[in-house]
Chain A
Amino acid sequence: MKKKVIILSLTIVLIISLTINTYSRYASSGNVHINDITGNVKCSLEITNTGNDFSSNGYAQFRIKVKNTDEKGNLSKTPLSYYLVISNTNNLGKFKYIDSLGNGNIDFLERITTKTYTFRSDHLEVEQINVEVKTDAFVSEQVDFNVDLYCNQIVGK
């Protein structure tokens, strides 16, 4: 008899525990993923230095083309400003630049910084800058130089 009662009690406890499991509530969760690839500033330059190019003033010159694309031709995703720094690396040459509008520096210098130009980002833009080179010796010498291009993202035009 005692056994029966224990079994019955256990059954009841089991039923209670089973019913407790069904005591649940609705719940759900979700994620909102926000993602993207960021934009970029792209600019590149191309130097044409034939070695036999002379300006109308009679100085040897090289030409720099600056573009609002990378080397592969991908357009910059933001408008940008840029400037060039041209300097010699063997203390021989001095430089003077002239842009397409006739702007430039007056005196030949060992290191020149151009004015700051801007490019849009909705179409290809190219600016050509001619750089005259002279040496103090006025004889044929090899002039080594660096051209550095600095580009910065700006507010759209």
Chain B
Amino acid sequence: MKYRRYTLVVLVLLVVLSISIPSLARYMNESKNKANIDIAKWNFKINDSTITSSTISLASTIDTNNKYSTKYVVPGTNGVIPIEIDADDSEVSLSYKISFNLSQLPDNLHIYTDSNKTLLFDSSNIVEDTILITDTNKKNNYNLYWEWEYKTDETSNKNDSLWQDKNIELIINIEAKQIVRDDIS
């Protein structure tokens, strides 16, 4: 009687194990003939680079129609920072988040997510989207619009003057994750 009960317990555990096994097949295709495993490719690129960190010179993004300076970042200048999310070589769907990580910018220099410069891009703002394996276009492009406002009030003059010959820095963090079944349901 006891032996039967133990057998039953073992059988139940085996059933549990056999149920869990199909969930392992999410990223793999097992070939019975060759007994090898193909792993889906994950190739996520930011601005055409697979490296985890890339650098853009803000001066290189200055709007050349600018009246204040076309070469240097000074009050009155503005420009567009392009961000390209490229999942062309990935064989899985993915979701990603673009967030504001750190900034060392003059008070009057702001980043916006729209060309009308009404939507501020700051630490409280996250851009989220997906690129699905079924999408024909697997590249998403974003423009971040920046402007160092030319203001002549006393406070602005004082603050802007403090930012002469200074290093300005903005870090944009981009996180991408493969979309799995649990995310969809």
Instruction: Spell out A's residues near B (CB within 8 Å).
Output: 1-2, 5, 8-9, 12-13, 15-16, 19-20, 22-23, 25-41, 77-78, 121, 152-153, 155-156
B176 close to A27 (CB less than 8 A): yes
Contacts A16-B17, A28-B44 given; indicate if A38 touches B171 (C-beta within 8 A). no
* Among B40, B57, B75, contact of A35 (Cβ-Cβ < 8 Å): B57
Within 8 A of A (CB), among B140-175: 157, 160, 163-175
B3 close to A36 (CB less than 8 A): no
B13 close to A13 (CB less than 8 A): yes
Least CB distance, A14 to chain B, in whole angstroms: 11
B46 close to A9 (CB less than 8 A): no
* Known A25-B180, A153-B74; further 13 A-B contacts with Cβ < 8 A: A1-B2, A9-B10, A19-B21, A31-B54, A31-B171, A33-B54, A34-B170, A35-B56, A36-B58, A37-B166, A39-B164, A155-B67, A155-B68
For B81, the chain A residues whose CB sits under 8 A away are: 32, 34
B51 close to A30 (CB less than 8 A): yes
Instruction: Spell out B's residues near A (CB within 8 Å).
Output: 2-3, 6, 9-10, 13-14, 16-17, 20-21, 23-24, 26-27, 40, 42, 44, 46-47, 49, 51-59, 61, 67-69, 71-76, 81, 83, 92, 94, 101, 106, 157, 160, 163-178, 180
For A121, the chain B residues whose CB sits under 8 A away are: 69
A35 close to B55 (CB less than 8 A): yes
For A1, the chain B residues whose CB sits under 8 A away are: 2-3, 6
Bound Cα distance A156, B72 (Å): 12
B165 close to A38 (CB less than 8 A): yes
Closest to A33 in B: B55
Bound Cα distance A36, B62 (Å): 11
Closest to B14 in A: A12
Least CB distance, A19 to chain B, in whole angstroms: 6
Contacts A36-B168, A153-B75 given; indicate if A29 touches B13 (C-beta within 8 A). no
B13 close to A9 (CB less than 8 A): yes
Least CB distance, B113 to chain A, in whole angstroms: 14
Least CB distance, A5 to chain B, in whole angstroms: 4
Least CB distance, A26 to chain B, in whole angstroms: 4
* Among B71, B157, B164, B178, contact of A25 (Cβ-Cβ < 8 Å): B178
Bound Cα distance A147, B26 (Å): 78
For A13, the chain B residues whose CB sits under 8 A away are: 13
Bound Cα distance A27, B97 (Å): 12
